[in-house]
Amino acid sequence: EVQLVESGGGLVQPGRSMKLSCAASGFTFNNYDMAWVCQAPKKGLEWVATISYDGSSTYYRDSVKGRFTISRDNAKSTLYLQMDSLRSEDTATYYCAREDGITWGQGVMVTVSS
Amino acid sequence: DIQMTQSPSSLPASLGERVTISCRASQGISNNLNWYQQKPDGTIKPLIYYTSNLQSGVPSRFSGSGSGTDYSLTISSLEPEDFAMYYCQQDASFPRTFGGGTKLELK
Predicted confidence (pLDDT) per residue in B79-98, tens digit: 999 999 999 999 999 999 99
**pLDDT score at A54:** 97
Question: pLDDT tens, B3-23?
Answer: 999 999 999 999 999 999 999
Is the CB of residue A15 less than 8 Å from the CB of residue A85? yes
> Is residue A60 a contact partner of residue A15, using CB atoms and an 8 Å limit?
no
B44–chain A Cβ distance below 8 A for any pair: yes
Q: Quick one: closest CA in B to A101, which residue?
A: B46
C-alpha angle A45-A47-A52 in degrees, rounded to nearest 5: 145
Per-residue pLDDT, B35:
98
B24-74 pLDDT, tens per residue?
A: 999 999 999 999 999 999 999 999 999 999 999 999 999 999 999 999 999
Q: Rounded distance, CA A96 to CA A79, Å?
A: 8
- Judge: B95–A62 Cβ closer than 8 Å, yes or no: yes
The Cα of B68 is separated from the nearest Cα of chain A by a number of Å equal to 20
d(CA B18, CA B58): 17
The stretches in chain A having pLDDT less than 50 are none
pLDDT of residue A12: 98
Strand locations in A1-114 (E): 3-7, 10-12, 18-25, 34-39, 45-51, 58-60, 68-73, 78-83, 92-98, 108-112
d(C-alpha B60, C-alpha B81), whole Å: 14
Question: Is B96 in contact with B1 (CB distance < 8 Å)?
Answer: no
Residue A90 phi, psi dihedral angles, 5° rounding: -85, -5
Q: Scanning every residue of chain B, which has its alpha carbon at the shortest distance from the alpha carbon of A97?
A: B44
**What pLDDT is recorded for position A22?**
98
Whether A45 and chain B come into contact, CB under 8 Å, resolves to yes
CB-based contact A34:A58 (threshold 8 Å): no
Nearest-angstrom CA–CA distance, B42 and B14: 23
Look at residue A6 in the predicted model and tell me its pLDDT. Answer: 98
